[in-house]
Homo-oligomer: A and B are copies of this chain.
């Protein structure tokens, strides 16, 4: 990582050089990140002109390190030091740097490891597949997707047992489980991912509020599901769910432990 160190932004100002480096995280809140990273002064050491900005977006946070110094080498060394310290604490959450896109990072991993995937989407309505297929060359690993918006399509196309839908409903741990498992089997891919939830504002109940989403993951060894609450806002829920599904995919490929994935 350090060997590939890039200089995204470099300018002279008052005879000083300003260097930026952005670390991109997904699936962890700003407050939690800040808590894990801890005291910034300790992290910055003796360097006077170092700062760290937390830039939150939907379901993701960018960490921008900024260093100002009269000498380029000093600035670069300080950025590298701070990046290393941050990575020691939150490496599992960092998917890339600067202009990296999560779907591209995953695309590279899938290509390198020759892993094929298929997707079963309900509430995300195609957005998850859209993100994956934004990457050139994605046809090498993305086999197919099913947008099973109706219960009928869940049963007919993905063979989700009718009993499961009757007993637990379409937005359930069990439905996400069968969607992920069966989309993998039907598509004959290495991995299957599923998304089912309530985007709202219609369709919510007291037990199943807007923002409740289950994401399923299935490979040859296991099928598991994680439950999320993304809050209100139709497009916000779709974006959060798609990012969370991508993040599960990334962590699984890299063998990073995922909390509460059962």
Interface of A with B (CB < 8 Å)?
Answer: 119, 121, 124-130, 132-134, 136-139, 142-150, 152-153, 156-157, 186-187, 199-203, 234-235, 238
Contacts and interface: CB of A to CB of B under 8 A. Distances in A.
Contacts of A126: 121, 126-130, 132-133, 145, 147
The binding surface of chain A is classed by DSSP as mixed
Given A125-B134, A145-B145, 13 more contacts: A125-B132, A125-B142, A126-B126, A126-B130, A130-B238, A134-B234, A134-B235, A134-B238, A143-B152, A144-B147, A144-B150, A144-B157, A157-B157
B143 A149 contact: yes
One complex includes copies of this chain to the number of 2
Nearest to A144: B153
A121 to B, nearest CB: 8
A144 B149 contact: yes
A187 B150 CA distance: 10
Nearest to A134: B235
